[in-house]
Structure 1
């Protein structure tokens, strides 16, 4: 159960909580703080919202519940929930799983919706809540003392210094400025293989309610392909590709069109967006340093199989926001914020462990892992028990705070 929202104290201070980064995690944190009567200021290095690409598409029920609570229920309403998960090995279907919703909530178990649309919905809620984003503010320094946190930003008109009682660093994977300022390590691993992501718009019939995962198809030998349906007849296709993959050359040579045609045949389609990524598994040493909390990808990176990135970031934001609200209301002292690190760092480590196991199955790092993968897939063709060992990503779920 979510803790009750404290009423703003009679002598509400103008000092805000500083939210660094206006991605969906920062947006969520700001909305949660504003919902509890806490003044908030958001800064972001970009000149404006860049609504490009699907990015994080699969949002879990507990995250939908958070967004519904801040008035962004359109995410769940507009999102698409697939009901069948098909898994293939080469040209054979290993198994098909029908996802039944037990009906314990009016919200679906998850939805697929582009991150760009989610951000648009959250931006509208921020405007309605009177929370503005200061664009073109690049964080270049951060420090703290007994009175609060000071953030230095580079802007088109010169450096500015902003002061707040606390700061939530939602700067994402590239927000190393905060980690370095706090002396925090960000250890982990990076995977050499890359992943090509294409959003295409096409009429694929029954595929609109199916997620399809292919191990070693003949049209991407030795690697994987994942296909997710999204609203408006858009399909997200992920190909695992070699480390030296060149997207521009793939397009100009016609090989990208050939890749898509091997999947959808001669049906007409349009490319909505495409990009190439490398995946990483990294967790920061600590997610709390005094009055500064690291949130989302600024604190942890995981491979996207299982949708544990944005989902865990929003759960970070919820955990951080109500605790800061309690501290500001005088219901707890500053040391109460240590529970944020205790709880969410454990969640980050669990997500890193789960996604690392998935990536070892998807992208074997040595001969032993490759042998295990092939053996499991071959056995799964005829042995139902072996199918439970096929790992294409365990779908995100909330973390249980058993040690809190």
Structure 2
């Protein structure tokens, strides 16, 4: 329950603290319910008449039928100012305090509707006008009917147990009847399951919290069914005349860890309605007199609900901006990748061109060497052929000189020492 940035409503800091002291009484003169503001026990109920004097005259009655007048008004610095019964008095009707608060809540909503600018001139009915359909009928707690009867708004105050299926059936009935139905729940009893905002049982959606938020409430299957149908649950505290709106603080999901995280991460928190699977949520309380009826949306527009819409717009804008940053980053990365690819292709083409030029030069040099070798071979062959075709007498004349006749060898006597060759026989 956030108390920051709100109006100076005297009862606002005490809202949704499960206060059960009686602050509503029935005027014995006008028969209307009157409300005791906190801290006003010594004040005046009307000019010249104090609360204490009026209650001593027996003119302030308990709203419960047959209960009788209050005995006194209690003023305490530590407790909320309230009415007190006579000793031994109780609600003998057996309906219990739940009906008392139900009556007080209906009276409070009817007074608010009578002063609501968007319902100016509308007829108000408190628990006395049924809505009939071929399938059956329902009687809303407070029914506002436009002057021409073309529009109707039903205010339902739910204090008893109700399942999600039962709520869907009643919500569908009002929709088929063309009635805008607005549901508010009790600030105690089965519709209020208090959860400690800092307790160990809180879910992750309660981890981020405003220091001024001191109340959290568990969400039943009924509330989760409403959230599934995009209806935000509301609670009413008639003792403080405040409306509580189901609210959760959301942190956007962090992107995967990468070098792009710092560009798309948004550290902001957003106050939005809880998801339909949340087990608990915070209560953002607003004075009832600051609330309005949004007929186009079919809901009670509290200050917190208006903030929900603004936060949704801000969230979408931030998501769009983050997506644009991410797209721009990816575009730059794509351009860088394309540029590197083109540069690599250009380098490859240059290397290929250089290799082709070197290969062409090698081929040219080899061709030159082959031609030179061919030329040399042809020259040698021509020289050989020329030599073969040239007559030898012309180039090489014969110069024949008769060889000298060798002189006969002189006869030499055979020595006796020489062996004689035997003649073969």
Q: Same fold (TM over 0.5)?
A: no
Higher relative contact order (CA closer than 8 Å, sequence separation 6+):
1
So what's the TM-score if we normalise by structure 2?
0.23
Q: Higher strand share goes to which structure?
A: 1
So what's the TM-score if we normalise by structure 1?
0.24
